[in-house]
A and B are shown apart, each in its own frame.
Chain A
Amino acid sequence: MEFLQIAVLLGIAPAFTGWVRMLKCWSQGRTSAGLFQPYRDIIKLFSKDVVLADNASWIFRFTPYLVFGTVVLAGGIIPMLSLELPIASAADVIVLVGLFAIARFFTALAGMDIGTAFGGMGSSREMTIASLAEPAMLMAIFTVSLASKSTSLSQMVHVVYSGQSVLRPSLAFALFAFILIALAETGRIPVDNPATHLELTMIHEAMILEYSGRHLALIEWANMMKLFLFVMLGAAVFAPWGIAQTGDLTVIIAAFLIMLLKLAVVGIVLVIIETGLAKMRIFRLTEFLGSAFLLATLGMLSYFILE
């Protein structure tokens, strides 16, 4: 089942990114390159040679593989299609946050490896944002885990299934906080602009500016998967309906279709957010992530007071 999930992750993630880009083009009155452009990009990058700076060390070459590895492993842990994931108990939500942190840690190191100003700038900003986003992220997750009395993802889904699916105010707060954090963690507007290469505004792109060829392909693909996984994580925690509880084939196909539906909806929401907002100044982000943290804390308080 893990392998099926990972296969879905690898296969669908670029399409989701393509879907978001397509919607964005339409909403801005441009012609889109189609749903499958990300696949063509990745294939093109894989077939190209790698150009490395003279002083790139092994860290620079190792990072794409590690980033790819952690994201794929995370794909085996988050329940996307089914709850029957034997390996999923190797890691709970805190470990999941840790896995994304490893990827970020090494990407930031790779950004500093060549010794250009852009790389260092990207690393510095990325680590700053991450250090503000991570407490908020954990608070949001803790709020949810208070209700399910567990930090294990499949257990959280189970609890929602087992009848207590009344709308909880604490979950609503946590959902809002999670959306804000997910925007920051996946580098979307208003935190970072995935499409820009303008020196003053880029964060994530600045770190990976020196990559090329298959290294860049791995990193781009991992990024698409990360976006996909955040959507899946949100879906598993806040709207798990449709995730199969058994290993039955028809149920899993149904789960797959429901997942596609959820992705389509999330894509529309994401595009509305991205076209509706402008990118923030980097020092305004404290307020942005601070409000995410406050929302998560309010969720926790409302859990204790109201529930």
Chain B
Amino acid sequence: MIAGPMGIVTSAILLLFLSVLLASLLKSHQRLVINVSFVTASAASLLGIAGGVWAVGGGFTNKLILPLGLPDLPFHVRIDPLAGFFITVICLLSFFVSVYSIGYIKGYLGRRPVTRLVIFYNLFLAGMLMVVLADDALFFLVSWELMAAASYFLVMFEDERIENRRAAFLYMIVAHVGAIAILLSFGVMAGLTTGFESFNGYTFDAMRQAEIPVKWATAAFLLAFFGFAAKAGVVPLHVWLPDAHPVAPSNVSALMSGVMLKTAIYGMVRVTFDLIGTYPWWWGAIVLIFGLISAVMGVLYALMQHDLKRLLAYHSVENIGIILIGLGLSMIFTSFNMPMLAALALIAGLYHTMNHAVFKGLLFMGAGAVLHATGERNMEEMGGLIHRMPWTAALFLIGCVSISALPPFNGFVSEWLTFQAFLLSPALPSPLLKLLIPLGAALLALTGALAAACFVKAFGVTFLGHWRGHHMPRVHEADWFMRSGMILAALTCLVLGVLPTFFIDWMDIIPEQLVGTKISTSSGVYGWLWLAPVGRERASYSGAIVFMGILLVVVAVYIVLHVKPGTIHRVPIWDCGFSKLNQRMQYNATAFSMPIRRIFGFLFNIREKVKLTPRGLYAAVPKRLNYYLRIRDRFWGWFYRPVVDICFWVSRRVGRLQQGRIQAYLIYSFITIIVLLVFSR
């Protein structure tokens, strides 16, 4: 039997497959299927967390050759600290989401069979774990496809709606274009490792040892970056993401946004830092630039949304951008041989990977609870839910604070680390980079501030004020399974934010293996309290003290002011004597983002129309006012529309071959055979 972290993670995967089996056997008892499968999935996730934490903490590297796969091409698996870290991230979120799903999926009971959802959910989890474990190109791509296909069926779950089918189709296409690029990238690397005659180069070990010429390595890197960027939703390859993520069931959206995108980050780190190893600085610059573009564009598009889940999906684009900023900086520092700074930037990127998984999972679970309770995704129709759903509101608020990078929650820690990495860039020898990289810090600051604006909007419009729709549905609070999934995620957000040194100490072995040095996380007495990655006098941050300080003052002030029990009078809203105030007069999502739309409007394709119907002669008192607003992604028109048009044009041309007559087809075969005989003797 296999022991160690590898054994644990393998058994977690087997448990997920067992869960698939059980789900298909118990098909006729829907409620039982949900309980059994999601409990099994949670157990498997816990196992995975144990294995992952152990692998990183102990610094293990276990390898194994499975007796599976093609003849002479067995599957290789390997667990090392990098893989262990991503396994921990995946399993952490999938544990929360699996607990949540027990409650959430019951909402489908009586409406549609859920067996398919349960089966593909488990396959999806197994696929993600296998991607991270894979140690050869073949197994990697097989797992990658398993993950993509399973998530395709999950996106298609509610397939009666046309936009769901369209989103799933678009997702499938982009995923496969990306997969082809990854395949080609591995092909380049494997081919240069052992020559194109033998197949032995397909293992990652062989690629690691090979000396690939820079020209070919660049080709391999660009292909891999394209492929993984398509999966991660990097601008301009992001168009599928805001379509596909919102239409999936919310627990699946949480996993797709929270961790599936991270497998692409894993792939980038694996290929550049581990398999290729040495590279020129401009690779890092490419990653950094795409990261910055994604971060800023992601958050600006998010601000324009009024569909809660779509807004969250665009924020995934933004956060993937922030992660890429960390990775890009790390690559630049590595290529200038500054391992210390590279380690800091890499830790910043990876820590944000973990943080984003947790808070984005939390936010999607919250959005799912709202959807479950109101049946509504459009924020313009919501409002005042904090009174009906106090738990969900409080937990969603924690997610909002975390993603807006406000101290003392976790989003702030990784953003702070990224800023520190930016501020160390003047140590670079190249004057051009010295000048340009700090501007990136300003863009990151812009992103953070816009994210805060966006989440004031998301939380404020959804949970505060009055209900904006015409009919208030019967809203109910999320059940205890959903609540506990969200509570666990919220607590994790706080712990990751308040005590970052523990986690950074734990994952410090990853930069040690990949870029050659650790960062010093702490210094002096009570070192665990202070996060000082470069040195105490350079910069330090203590989430715990900030948290305790705020808490202390708030509690003290509260007590001082409540020594004498003051009175609170509840009165109706003051309407300035207007007395016709209604809930449609509140600021809504479109109104909230209007100033930002005016300022950054040139980045979008906006069409705005106002139509006034005058009341008789009195133009000043209109009878009706119609407001029409359409905001489109410019990238669709720039990149995708031409590609789609070309595809249609080519297929129409090629379609002429299709005569429908057997004689014509026989002639085609005949010509083909002649041509082959002539050219391939």
A residues with a Cβ closer than 8 A to B are 46, 49-55, 57-59, 65-66, 68-70, 72-73, 76, 87, 89-92, 94-95, 98-99, 101-102, 104-105, 108-109, 111-117, 119-121, 123-125, 127-128, 130-139, 142, 145-146, 149-152, 155, 210, 213-214, 218, 282-283, 286, 293, 297, 300-301, 304
> In the complex the two chains form, what is the Cα distance from A221 to B393 in whole Å?
29
B464 CB–A CB distance under 8 Å = yes
- Chain B positions 498-543 with a Cβ under 8 Å from a chain A Cβ: 530, 532, 536-542
Q: B162-170, B588-596, B622-630: which one contacts chain A?
A: B588-596
Q: A92-B539, A94-B416 are in contact. Are A69 and B553 (CB under 8 A)?
A: yes
Q: Chain B residues with Cβ under 8 A from A152's Cβ?
A: 537-540
B452 touching A131, Cβ below 8 Å: yes
B233 within 8 A of A: no
Nearest-neighbor residue (CB-CB) of A107 within chain B: B456
- Select A53's contact among B438, B549, B567, B573, beta carbons within 8 Å: B573
Please give 18 more A-B residue pairs, beta carbons under 8 A apart, in addition to A76-B549, A124-B592.
A49-B566, A51-B569, A57-B387, A68-B554, A73-B550, A94-B541, A112-B465, A112-B587, A113-B465, A119-B587, A124-B593, A130-B453, A131-B452, A135-B443, A142-B423, A142-B438, A286-B599, A300-B435
**CA gap between A116 and B384 in the complex, in Å:** 12
Q: Which residues of chain A come closer than 8 Å to B593, judged between CB atoms?
A: 124
Say how far B30's CB is from chain A's closest CB, in angstroms: 37
Select from chain A the residue with minimum beta-carbon distance to B541. A95
Residues in A neighbouring B607, C-beta threshold 8 A: none
* Chain A CB within 8 A of B148 CB: no
Give the contact stretch, choosing among B236-244, B248-256, B399-407: B399-407
* B453 in contact with A134 (CB, 8 Å): no
Least distance between B195 CB and chain A CB atoms (Å): 48
Pairwise interchain contact B407-A98, C-beta atoms closer than 8 A? yes
Complex CA gap A150/B535 in Å reads 10
- A95-B407, A98-B407, A116-B573 as given contacts; A131 in contact with B566, CB under 8 Å: no
Q: Is the pair A52, B568 in contact by a Cβ cutoff of 8 Å? A: yes
List the B side residues contacting A90 at CB < 8 Å.
530, 540-542, 545-546, 549
Using A73-B546, A127-B452 as known contacts, say yes or no to A59 and B386 having CB atoms under 8 A apart: yes
**Contact status B545-A87, CB under 8 Å:** yes
Candidate in A49, A69, A286 with the most chain B CB atoms within 10 angstroms: A69
Digitize B380-411: 1 where CB-to-A-CB distance is under 8 Å, 0 elsewhere.
Answer: 00011011000001000100010011110000
Q: What is the predominant secondary structure among interface residues of chain A facing chain B?
A: helix
In the complex the two chains form, is A73's CB within 8 Å of B465's CB?
no
| Bound Cα distance A242, B343 (Å) | 39
In contact, B419 and A50 (Cβ under 8 angstroms): no
The chain A residue sitting closest to B536, CB to CB, is: A89
Q: In chain A, what residue has the closest Cβ to B406? A: A102
CB proximity of A46 to chain B, nearest CB, Å: 8
Q: What's the least CB distance linking B430 to chain A, in Å? A: 12
The chain B residue with its CB closest to the CB of A209 is B574
Residues on B with C-beta less than 8 A from A138 are: 419, 441-442, 445
CB-contact partner of A114 in B387, B566, B573, under 8 A: B573
Distance (whole angstroms) from the CB of B545 to the closest CB of chain A: 4
The smallest beta-carbon distance between B446 and chain A, in angstroms, is: 4
- Knowing A50-B566, A131-B452, A134-B445 touch, does A150 contact B537 (C-beta < 8 A)? yes
Contact of B596 among A50, A117, A131, A146 (CB under 8 A): A131
Q: Given A55-B384, A127-B456, are A117 and B585 neighbors across the interface (CB < 8 Å)?
A: yes
23 CB-based A-B contacts, threshold 8 Å: A49-B569, A53-B571, A55-B465, A89-B532, A95-B412, A102-B406, A105-B456, A109-B459, A109-B464, A115-B583, A117-B587, A123-B592, A127-B456, A133-B449, A137-B445, A138-B445, A142-B441, A151-B419, A152-B539, A283-B595, A283-B599, A286-B599, A300-B435
